[in-house]
Amino acid sequence: MRTRHSERHRLSRIGWLRAAVLGANDGILSTASLVVGVASAPQARPSDILIAGVAGLVAGAMSMAAGEYVSVSSQADSESAELELESRELRDDPKGEHKELAEIYVQRGLDRTLAEQVATQLMAHNALEAHARDELGLSDTTAARPLQAAIASAISFASGALLPLLAVIFSTRNLAAPVTVIVSLLGLAILGGLSAAMAGSPVVRGVVRVLFWGAAAMALTAAVGRLFGVAA
């Protein structure tokens, strides 16, 4: 019978969790701060506040997508260059590469005889894959995917940014700023708590941390909006 591996580890979801949390957190915080800043200006009309929020959502989502695409594309280029170099080394010096792979297994705890046998069998199966995984630390699960990363970042940012926008839409002009602050802080608290729980970190610490910086950002932009709005 085939044995099923029932253990569940959090490390397997750190990558996508980090990207999703950062994107949604940025979406809530940057859009809410922008909306609160504009709403705090006495002369701002409801349409001005909404336009600022929508513009912030679109610009932020595109910025996140572009930044993630460029960053992950650079990583993908580096990975391709490393694999190409490793492929040449395998072709030009297979014995040296075998010795190098065996030495890696020795350093991980295998005796030399077994390490050489493992290296021989893995290289016979797929030499490049063995060296990519055990020498370079590359695998299919960790491979850089620029387009996927860009789309995921844009979607997570836009999803977070919708929260303060909905707060603006369903509140009156006089209550736009306070309602946005309350709703956005609530969203940040939930997001911080969920991400901390999924990562195995203390939930209270995660919530307090995100609430502190969220409140600070919105307070600062509100002060700027009121100051320059009065001056204007």
What are the distances in angstroms from CA 42 to CA 39, 45, 223?
Answer: 7, 8, 12
For residues 140-168, average pLDDT: 84
In a domain, 5, yes or no: no
Task: Tell me how far apart the alpha carbons of residues 151 and 16 are, in angstroms, rounded to a whole number.
Answer: 12
69-115 pLDDT, tens digit per residue, is: 888 888 777 877 877 887 887 787 878 888 877 888 888 888 788 88
Overall number of domains in the chain: 1
In a domain, 4, yes or no: no
In a domain, 3, yes or no: no
In a domain, 145, yes or no: yes
Range of the domain at 121: 12-231
In a domain, 35, yes or no: yes
If pLDDT is split at 50, 70 and 90, which confidence band does 180 have?
very high
199-223 pLDDT, tens digit per residue, is: 777 889 888 988 999 899 999 998 8
In a 10 Å sphere around its CB, with 0-12 CB exposed, 13-18 middle and 19+ buried, how is residue 89 labelled?
A: middle
26-67 pLDDT, tens digit per residue, is: 899 999 999 999 998 888 888 999 999 999 999 999 998 898
In a domain, 6, yes or no: no
- Greatest Cα-to-Cα distance within the chain, rounded to the nearest angstrom: 79
Cβ-based neighbour number of residue 51 at 10 Å: 12
In a domain, 165, yes or no: yes
In a domain, 143, yes or no: yes
Lowest mean pLDDT among 7-21, 128-142, 165-179: 7-21
